[in-house]
Amino acid sequence: MADRPYVIERMISAKSIAARIEDLSRDIAMAYAGTDKLVVVGLLRGSFIFIADLVRELDMPVEVDFIETSSYGNATESSREVRILKDLRGDIEGRDVLVVEDIVDTGHTLAHVLNLLQSRRPRRLRTIALLDKPSRREADVTADWIGFEVPDAFVVGYGIDYAQQGRNLPYIGQVRFDTA
């Protein structure tokens, strides 16, 4: 558990997340109509619940792979130094690829991953993010599909953590630190 006392206030309910994923999956299926198999790449660890729910809603052939990155550690601010901790197992050259991100904050992680994957020559490379914080953007990157826009607040739940806690929450909540 993190050293600083905090509470979590609900921002986005599990029901709202599920409904939005249904809408996004329809949009994605239309965008990839005719694709023989979509490669869905989740950015670990924060996207693991989102990617699981998303691919179950996609009525098309999909292959799932993962990249694990690190830029936060146990902090609430990005270090802006993106490290690849786990790379893809499969080849994406000439394939349609959808990168699944939990949250686009400064944009450094997503920009780094997109540059890496683009160098592997996919046929088409697109992105989806459950959450977007455009007010914090430092890198010139925007997801093709966005679940929810959130304010400049530290959030947890639905796979997203604070110091490895809160990932299991079925909703998105804002972390509020005790100032006392």
CATH number at residue 89: 3.40.50.2020
CB atoms within 10 A of CB 141: 20
* Residue at 1 is within a domain: no
**Active-site residue list:** 105
What's the pLDDT at 83?
Answer: 85
pLDDT at res. 67: 96
Grade residue 22 by pLDDT with cuts at 50, 70 and 90: very high
Residue 173 lies in a domain: yes
| Number of domains within the chain | 1
pLDDT in tens, 128-176: 999 999 999 999 999 999 999 999 999 999 999 988 889 999 999 999 9
Residue 108: which residues within 8 A CB-CB, separation 6 or more? 71, 78, 80, 82, 138, 139
Least confident of 25-29, 34-38, 120-124: 34-38
Give the model confidence (pLDDT) of 145-155 as tens digits. 999 999 999 99
Asked if residue 169 belongs to a domain, the reply is yes
Rounded to the nearest integer, the mean pLDDT of the chain is 91
Neighbours of 132 (CB within 10 A): 21
Main-chain dihedrals φ then ψ at residue 124, nearest 5 degrees: -145, 135
Residue 134 belongs to domain spanning: 6-177
